[in-house]
Amino acid sequence: MNDLLKKPRKVYVSRTIEFNAAHRLFNPLLTENENCKIYGKCANKHGHGHNYLLEITLAGIVEQKTGFLFDLKELKAILEEEIVNRFDHRHLNHDVPELQDCVPTTEVLAVLIWDILEERLTSITNREISLHEVKLYETGKNAVRYLGE
Report the site for a copy of itself in 70-109 (rule: CB under 8 A). Answer: 71-73, 88-91, 93-95, 98, 101-108
Residue from 42, 63, 118, 133 carrying the catalytic annotation: 42
One of 29, 32, 33, 97 touching a copy of itself (CB under 8 A): 29
Residue 34 appears among annotated catalytic residues: no
From 34, 89, 94, 128, the catalytic residue: 89
CB 83 within 8 A of CB 75: no
Q: Is 89 an annotated catalytic residue?
A: yes
Q: How far is the CB of 95 from a copy of itself (least distance, A)?
A: 6
Whether 42 is catalytic: yes
Ramachandran angles phi, psi of 72, nearest 5°: -65, -25
Cβ proximity of 73 and 65 under 8 Å: no
Q: What are the angstrom distances between the C-alpha of 132 and each of 58, 74, 88, 113?
A: 5, 17, 23, 12
* Residues of span 122-141 touching a copy of itself by CB under 8 A: 139-141
Strands 129-137 and 48-61: antiparallel
